[in-house]
Amino acid sequence: MSPDIIIDWLQASLRWGAPLILVAIGEVYSERSGVINMGIEGIMLFGALAGIAISFFTGNVLLATIGTMILGALFGLAVAFLTVSRKTNQVVTGLMVNLMALGGTNLLFALLSESRHVRVERYPLLFPESFSNIPILGPVLFRQPVSTWVALILPFIAAYILYRTDWGLNVRAVGENPQAAATAGLPVIKLKYQAVILSGLFAALGGCVLTLAEVGYFASGGMTAGRGFVVLAAVVVGGWDPLKTALVCLVFGAADAAQLRMQTAGSVIPYQFLQMLPYLITVIALAGVVGRSRPPKTWGAPYDPADI
């Protein structure tokens, strides 16, 4: 295997891992508060379409990003209302969002016939082109769009907020023992809402990055291809820690990049098996942490103020 192929794979690994990291950051906050947002796959899919549509009509990726984040926050608010206020089953609620997104995005994309075969404006490179000439590090790090750098820096900020700020401490307390947190005067429902809304915002942002950082167009029929479920697994494997979860997402991104390159290289391995590679790694990773990973104590359980 030539060095150029390895460098190209490393570059693609960061680029494909970036949207997973962004989605995972929000999901870590949500699950730390005790709420599993199973709908991140669907919200990510809506975000992918919204990013393409807004970029197509405005020609501005910044507006596309902001609009997508607002849309994601609204979806997060809806999920929070159902799971926190109405105490619906979190798994069923998430599956409902995912199924709605699959049909909804196909319908909306069919209405946007003008943009079906147009490559829209994508995220620009963060560093000047001359930086790409640096051996090895140049193409791997400095030929990345700005979204990849945001994804690489964000886990450190997220970890600081989660472990070093009062808000992060409160979110963790709510996830471990909401009754005790409420007794101490913490606004449990408000904190849960904030965490779930963040998960929706970051899920939509991850979908936007998936399309605007790489291909510049939307494909109906499941653009996200189960990446939201991969993120759910990454959060568990990463022990609900932003930094560890980000590393797991990079591993999944590397597997995704590898299977794509193996297909284009004309591998003798059937392409269907290669497409399974990232998900096979997900299953193996989950099996490896069974019994050793400790979730927040109220993980997935509804909160009832009357239980105090």
Specify if 73 maps to a domain.
yes
Evaluate if residue 182 carries a pLDDT over 90.
yes
Specify if 277 maps to a domain.
no
What average pLDDT does this structure show over 122-138?
Answer: 83
pLDDT at 267: 64
Domain containing 74 equals 3-121+131-224
**Confidence class of residue 135 from pLDDT cuts 50, 70 and 90?**
confident
Please enumerate in sequence order all residues whose Cβ is within 8 A of that of 272, keeping only pairs 6 or more positions apart, or say none.
none
pLDDT at 195: 98
Q: What pLDDT, in 10s, does the model give residues 50-88?
A: 999 999 889 899 999 999 999 999 999 999 999 999 999
Q: Which residues pair with 145 in a beta bridge?
A: 125
**Confidence class of residue 114 from pLDDT cuts 50, 70 and 90?**
low
Specify if 46 maps to a domain.
yes
What average pLDDT does this structure show over 214-224?
Answer: 79
Specify if 208 maps to a domain.
yes
What CA–CA distances, in Å, run from 118 to 63, 114, 115, 217, 303?
18, 8, 5, 7, 46
Specify if 90 maps to a domain.
yes
pTM for this model (two decimals): 0.93
Q: What pLDDT, in 10s, does the model give residues 98-110?
A: 999 999 998 888 8
Q: What pLDDT, in 10s, does the model give residues 226-259?
A: 899 999 999 999 999 999 999 999 999 988 888 8
Total domains, the chain: 1
Q: What pLDDT, in 10s, does the model give residues 22-42?
A: 999 999 999 999 999 999 999
Cα gap 151→278, rounded to integer Å: 20
pLDDT at 304: 80
Specify if 85 maps to a domain.
yes
Specify if 185 maps to a domain.
yes
**Confidence class of residue 117 from pLDDT cuts 50, 70 and 90?**
low
Specify if 190 maps to a domain.
yes
Cα gap 190→61, rounded to integer Å: 32
